[in-house]
Amino acid sequence: MKKVLVILLSAVILLSIVGCASDKEVLNVYNWGEYIDMAVIDMFEEETGIKVNYNTFTTNEDMYVKLSKGRVSYDLVFPSDYMIQRMIQEDMLQKINMENIPNYSKIDDVHKNLSYDPNNEYSVPYLWGTVGILYNKTMVSDTVDSWDILWNEKYSQKIFMQDSQRDSMMVALIKLGYSQNTTDQTQIDEAMNLLIEQKPLVLGYLVDEVKDKMVQKEGALAVVWSGEAVDAMSMNEDLAYVIPKEGSNRWVDAMVIPKNAKNVSAAEKFINFMLRDDIMVMNANETGYSITSQSAIDLLDDEWKNNLAAFPTEDMLSRCSVFEYNAEATVLYNKAWTEVTAH
């Protein structure tokens, strides 16, 4: 009996140590799920000899909770714009020495100096996109150019909304003519009520599943991110994507280095690596999302580089803005969204 206990205990201890023992240099990366071409990681490891531990998260909030409360440490993380703003405010990030990242100059200016990181000190853009309406041309007879159509009773139970607090609130706020970053309680309440009004027409509040459902014709209209739209459109030709005329959200996921990162130089190398044209093309092809450098975009196939969903015109982009983070407003948004889902 004692022998068994000892063996067991040592097995348990061994197992927990196994992960840590290694002589090689290690880089701990935390990114969204299915948001990279895994071959890129292999290439990086080969070229630099650095071992990459690649972990994934599903939402910004998930990632934030794990990083702030869970005492987990990463060298490189890929949050979204508003979350980066929050992390900067809460002193969770360190400034990036851009001189160690020569490829930074390849990034198009339109992605720089955005409100979440106005001086480009803490982040390097990775992939970006917009939010819009994906619809099935054969199932929707009206013109789709406004958020109003999602409140049209004709399409009751054929509408999908995002199970995402900020994206859904954004739709309602913009439809009402307000800013998607408002901190005004009355405006937030109005948006909340609008969404509650819409609920009987909504088939479901989905995230990743929505792409599959639209391809399978379960719904006629859905609020999606541009990358999902590009993917869905390639699987079903009846689908089209539009950024409503009232405006919408544009988002950027960028690379940041947490304050408690253990291997900053490896992180910088990885960032620089990701900005290479060939690597950008690989990631674009694998994820379907839009890359940030014109020189890389030019390498994509024609159908793609001319796809307005993936690469909207300046005019379209001009009606979109980024999410901003505000601590008090977040509580208000949380409350409002809970009211909508629990209704």
Partner 1 sequence: MKKLLQRIYLFLILLFLYAPIIVLIVYSFNESKSRAVWQGFSLTWYQQLFTDSKILNALETTLLIALVASVVATVLGTFAALGIIKMKKKTFETVRTITYIPVLNPDIVTGVSLMMLFAFVGIELGFVSMLLAHITFCTPYVIISVLPKLYQTDISVYEAAQDLGATPFYALRKTIIPQLMPGIITGFLLSFTLSVDDFVISYFTTGGHVENLSMIIFSMARKGVNPKINAVSALLFVTVMALLLVVNKRELSSKKRISKNNKDTFLNREKQILSIGENEEK
Partner 2 sequence: MSKRRFSLPYLIWMSIFIVVPLLLVVFYAFTDNSSGKTVFTLDHIKAIFEPLYLKVIGRSLYMSLIATIVCFILGYPAAMILASKDFAKKSTMLILIVLPMWMNFLLRTYSWLSLLENEGLINRFLALIGFGQVQLMYNNFAVVLGMVYNFLPFMILPIYSVLVKIDKSVIEAAKDLGANNIKVFGRVIFPLSMPGVISGITMTFMPALSTFVISRLLSGGKITLIGNIIEQQFTITGDWGLGSALSLLLMVLIFVSMIFINKYGDESVGAGGLL
Residues 6+ apart with CB under 8 A from 29: 52, 53, 54, 55, 74, 75, 76, 77, 270
The option from partner 2, partner 1, none interacting with 177 (CB < 5 to 8 A, set by class) reads: none
Q: Which of 3, 24, 69, 343 binds partner 1 (CB under 8 A)?
A: 69
- CA end-to-end span of the chain: 56
- What string marks each residue from 131 to 170 as x (binds partner 2 by CB under 8 A) or -? --------------------------x-----x-x-----
SS3 at position 126: strand
- 206 touching partner 2, by CB under 8 A: yes
The option from partner 2, partner 1, none interacting with 61 (CB < 5 to 8 A, set by class) reads: partner 2
- 58 touching partner 1, by CB under 8 A: yes
Number of Cβ within 10 Å of residue 203's Cβ equals 19
Q: How far is the CB of 166 from partner 2 (least distance, A)?
A: 11
- 334 touching partner 2, by CB under 8 A: yes
Number of Cβ within 10 Å of residue 49's Cβ equals 9
The option from partner 2, partner 1, none interacting with 339 (CB < 5 to 8 A, set by class) reads: partner 2
- 3 touching partner 2, by CB under 8 A: no
Dist CA 258 CA 239 (whole Å): 40
Per residue in 110-143, is it b (16+ CB within 10 Å) or e — as a string? ebeebebbeebebbbbbbbbbbbbbbbeeebeee
Q: Which two tokens stand for residue 112?
A: 């720089």
- What string marks each residue from 40 to 79 as x (binds partner 2 by CB under 8 A) or -? -------------------x-xx-xx--xx----------
Residues 6+ apart with CB under 8 A from 44: 50, 52, 269, 270, 273
Q: How far is the CB of 169 from partner 2 (least distance, A)?
A: 14
- 200 touching partner 1, by CB under 8 A: no
Q: Residue type for 200, please?
A: P
The option from partner 2, partner 1, none interacting with 204 (CB < 5 to 8 A, set by class) reads: partner 2
- 338 touching partner 2, by CB under 8 A: yes
Q: Which of 35, 37, 48, 56 binds partner 1 (CB under 8 A)?
A: 56
